[in-house]
Chains A and B, each alone.
Chain A
Amino acid sequence: MSTVTRAAAPDDERGAASSEIGGSHDLSTWATLKRGFQLSPELLRGLWVTVLLALFATIGKVLIPFVVQQATDHGILAEGGPDVDFVVRAVALAAGAIIFTGLAQYVVNVRLFKAAESGLATLRVTAFRHIHDLSVLTQSTERRGALVARVTNDVDTISMFVQFGGIMLLVSTAQVLVATILMAIYSPILAGVVYLCVIPLVVLITKFQPMLARAYGAVRVRVGDLLGAVSESIVGAVTIRAYGVEDRTQGRIDGAIEQHRVAAIRAQIRSVMAFVSGQAFGGVTTAIVLVVGTVLATHDRMTLGQLLAFLFLVNLFTQPVQQATEIFNELQNAVAGWRRVIGVIDTPADVSDPGEAGVRLPRGPITVDFEDVDFAYPGGDRVLQDVNLTFDPQSRIAIVGETGSGKTTLAKLLTRLMDPSEGRVLIDGVDLRDVAFDSLRRRIVMVPQEGFLFDQSLLENIRFGRPEAADEDIELAMTELGLDPWLAGLPLGLATQVGQRGESLSAGERQLVAIARAYLADPDLLVLDEATSAVDPATEVRIQRALEGLTRGRTSVAIAHRLSTAEAADVVVVVDKGRIVEVGHHAELVGAGGVYTRMHNSWAAQQR
């Protein structure tokens, strides 16, 4: 059932460097509820008023059959012929009770819906926020579709229970108590018989609960898998078509659909069994009470009327008990969803914001130091070792090296998307782990290779870099970056909608947007990770110049294959197999006969 944990390495080899999103399978039902209510305080707010109103409505419901019975016994069957007046008075009274009960019921419903939906909305938002607070490594342990399920379907499963189930449970308990007292007054022996009959049901239900919990838990996991598989078919649409692997993809989805179907039916059958055992309890109890009651009555321990009245009380008692078995089913379903949401919320964020305690650094030129930094992915080999580097303020750094040598890891450590396994990274002499995120993100911005675009206009996508930027600022930025000619080629210019994930644009165009976005953010340290790899050379050169002209006063770190970037940099850092092998200016390194010389020769050969 641990399909939620996906990673490059098998589970047993995973280190402690990053956390995985948990399912909180170990959390007991009670603990889950407690934590659930804690996370959604709205669920309990004003609950006592709702409970009182619900009790009032229940009393109304019990009152009506009573009035009907009174009207029958003392009205229609009155000695000396039917008493029409009495019946009319009773009927009027009952009608009044219906109106009050109905009003109370309405208020209860609305209050419950409000409390439930407000509480669950809070829960969704909390979980959503926490998923963003998890490190990129932790996020990547679960498929997107499954993550989405945690804030959508998993929460939806809870709603049924918190809307009706919880309050029904309270009201049912009250009804059971009232029935017990009345039964004990009528006949303590028969009341004892009823309670003896409950014992096997309680045993059965306690047996069923863990089974139900497992079954519903399995359904939740299957829903996650299902959405993961469907999401793959949507996000991977191009690849699937280009390789004609529709059948294989469909096979995987069908597998997930079938597993979900089987799990859902299994859970349903178990819940029917639980319900039927409640029903059996009700029926058998009635039969036994009638048998024992007959024996008691023949021994003059009770009258026929008392026996029949007692049967009515048995019904009053067994009905809520049966209902409780249903509510317990719903409870387990809700708990299964709750566990998954709580699982994500209680996953520790291994790269966490020091928050208020964090240092806020003033804006201005920035210094970066790497001190004895090592990094290993969980369960993987070390990808960076003994990194010691200093980037001076306002310098332009180029990081070069072969694919997989650890360049991107360096960038992720520098921007604190990940924390080093050993050593520390400092800006302006402060450990990154001590810098408040809002200060850190304002000062350091990274442009990754595959910049993500939202399904909005170009304008809105660029504004993401600085939400308060005016349209004019964005236009100005585009001009400063020399992107006007490109914009001119788009019929709608900045108003162009970029489509899902920016798919209406080419990869190169998406990179242009990502750069404009970062440029607009105006950080003190700009980290470009292959940010122009898909852009044509002429545009790239134009952008680079613009960035250079405008990055004076700020520090920039660029990771690039195109060594033109390195030639223009103040300092070139050469990474090879996770180690820094050379640091210096292009002019010094190019003739040094080391890794850089080799790289440069091969690059230069390509330019001819």
Chain B
Amino acid sequence: MTSATRPVERPRPSPAILRQGLRVIWTGIRQQQRMFAVAVVGSVLWASATVATAWAIGHVTETEVTPAIEAGEVTTGGLWTIFLVLLAVLLVNMTGVVLRRVAASIAGFNLQALYRQRVTRQYLRLPLSWHHAHPSGQLLSNAHADIEAAWQVFNPLPMAIGVIVMLVIAGGQMIAVDPFLALIGFLVFPGLFAANLVFQRFMAPRITKAQQLRAEVAEVAHESFEAGMLVKAMGREQEETDRFGRVTNDLRDSLIDVGRTRGVFEPVIEAIPVLGTLAVLAVGTARVASGDLTAADVVEVAYLFSILAFPVRALGWVLAEIPRSVVGYRRVDSVLQATGSMEYGEGQLPQTGPAHSRSEQVSYAYAEPAERAVLGADAPVETTTQTPVGPQRAMAIRDVTLDVPAGSTTALVGPTGAGKSTLTNLVLRLVDPDDGTVSLDGIDLRTVRKGGVPDVGTLVAQQTFMFDDPVRDNVTLGADLPDEVVWDALRTSRADGFVSGMPGALDAVIGERGGNLSGGQRQRIALARAIVRKPRLLVLDDATSAVDPAIEQDILGGLRESSEGMTVLVVAYRMATIQLADHIVYLEQGQVVDQGNHDELLARCQGYGDLVNAYAREAAERAAVAADEEPTR
């Protein structure tokens, strides 16, 4: 299974993680300067107000409450003073909290949104070969869970900054009281920090593992749900559940492991300031006994320790988030840094007339799974487009030269797995060849501007993909076209009949998996999608395999009528389709074996003859067998 075959990467804890974490935080701050500034202002307000609360209670007790009790009477003004002073501090505190928390969360969610946009832009920009090397579930998890992990740290961060302000105030006060007691403080708080560092070193690898397993759980779920019908048809629900159960249990164990580590460190980190307070008491008492300090001084320092004990934990939260943040960011960054995207030039393709496509000595091999990268692994993510051709890599296309003259209809014929689909992908630059060049109208496709090739050439793939949209949008793909044009295209692909019968017709939502449409119906909508764009080069990759013969004939007839100004490259098995072609190219095992017209190939190419005559021969043999059996009945 996938999770077993791919090693789960587990970076060793490194002291560098804090530095990396600070760098991630700095990256985030730079991009959300304003919100972050607001949050920090809020945090400083909150921190000051927190320290001031203790002061305010002391102050009103001293100036209002005690005198009133001693006098045995209280004025309304006095009561108002008590109430309003406390209320004022409270309001400052609340304002600080609101600013801090709201701005911090806005900054965090803005960052999440920003990185989601960047990551998904990469998904759309990176070549298909990159997609082949990265499981969908992983990519899904990257766009959600990893980005969340990377920026979660922004929630406790402003509070931690406020705490630092508090510590500075408190440190000053302590030094003013007694440098000797302050020394305890300066031992305790760095001690806290050191404990946190150790904590992180233990946490980082565990969290990395958990995050990877999270992605694997998503991966298994995604794959299994995609295979939903197969799982049902084969009655493999239990086996799939077991498979999912295994990764889920791995994730569970890994999260419990995280919890155990956390469970050890949390009480330790909580205990340190308390121990500090106790040390202050013990040492302080001795200093009071020796006459160096007053009792009030000790109480003040002890009190400072106790009010800091809780907020100081915010520093711990930030430090605890850092490994997760680093791991998440690393995984996100590996997608953002992934190279091997398609390079585009500035070239323009002509916009009118049929296109002339030529592939010159092209070779292409698919990436083998050994080259598949784990997101965020320490090793650099490899560029999957130009990986060296190893002995294990299956060459899908080898040294093929294919010329499709302008205005012609050329058929690609060959046995299953001969490389026909790969060749169609190369012709429209869905992938770049490892060797050789592909051109349209003499212009190397690699020099054409982005979007230039899809404007001119259109592929109808064997397997149709439907968007979760109404029929109309599935045909126009967002282009602003009048309904008549859409209906025209649907008519040409013979899809008008069943579409008009659907509730809502063009407005009927098809759904991600093509809803209740049959394979042939989906293919016809996909054909309409291509036809409506009036391409100069139309590539049909066995695009009518699920359409019945009579309708296919209709469609091809319709296409022929409307195909003036169009070059057609068609992958086909059916004799009638092949016979529509001016020129036939016969492929076997990724190489061109022969080309010419039907009669020429039939005369001299054995493989071609075997292929196209298979049905006829079969029928003849059956007829012969039937004839033999007849008399014996």
Contacts and interface: CB of A to CB of B under 8 A. Distances in A.
Interface in B287-322: 288-289, 295, 298-299, 302, 306
A165 to B, nearest CB: 15
A72 interface: yes
A540 interface: yes
A230 B140 contact: yes
A403 B234 contact: no
Interface string B246-280: 00110110011011101110111011001101110
Contacts of A65: 306
Tell me the dominant secondary structure on chain B's binding face.
helix
Interface in A397-448: 401-404, 407-408, 415, 417, 437-438, 440-442, 445-446, 448
Interface string A53-73: 000000000001100100110
A39 interface: no
A72 B281 contact: yes
B223 A455 contact: yes
B437 interface: no
A511 to B, nearest CB: 8
Interface in A242-288: 242-246, 248-251, 253-254, 257-258, 260-261, 264-265, 268-269, 272, 275-276, 279-280, 283-284, 286-288
B83 interface: yes
Given A110-B259, A110-B263, A308-B61, A536 B415 contact: yes
A151 B221 CA distance: 8
Contacts of B508: 8-9
Give the size category of A's interface with B: 35 or more
Contacts of B66: 304
A113 interface: yes
Contacts of A539: 415-416
B574 A441 contact: no
Most buried by B among A143, A148, A504: A148
Given A238-B465, A489-B417, A568 B270 contact: no
B394 A491 contact: yes
A567 B624 CA distance: 13
B417 A243 contact: no
A136 B145 contact: no
A109 B144 contact: no
A10 B145 contact: no
B416 A536 contact: yes
A237 interface: yes
Nearest to B245: A125
B241 A233 contact: no
A401 B139 CA distance: 41
A467 B417 CA distance: 26
Most buried by B among A77, A407, A508: A508
A347 interface: no
Most buried by B among A408, A486, A509, A599: A408
Interface in B2-40: 2, 5
A268 B551 CA distance: 56
B268 A121 contact: no
Interface string A101-131: 1110110111011100110110011001101
Given A286-B86, A380-B516, A128 B102 contact: no
A607 interface: yes
A52 interface: no
B51 to A, nearest CB: 15
Given A504-B132, A568-B622, A132 B109 contact: no
Contacts of A280: 90, 94
B547 interface: yes
B298 A76 contact: yes
A470 interface: no
A243 B278 contact: no
27 contacts: A7-B511, A76-B281, A76-B284, A103-B267, A108-B263, A117-B256, A125-B245, A139-B225, A144-B512, A234-B139, A242-B454, A279-B97, A284-B90, A287-B86, A295-B79, A298-B68, A403-B521, A407-B518, A437-B235, A441-B234, A454-B223, A456-B5, A506-B416, A508-B416, A536-B614, A541-B618, A605-B576
Given A76-B281, A76-B284, A598-B550, 16 more contacts: A6-B512, A98-B275, A113-B260, A117-B255, A132-B237, A233-B124, A244-B455, A245-B477, A261-B112, A275-B101, A298-B69, A404-B517, A417-B229, A446-B233, A491-B393, A507-B545
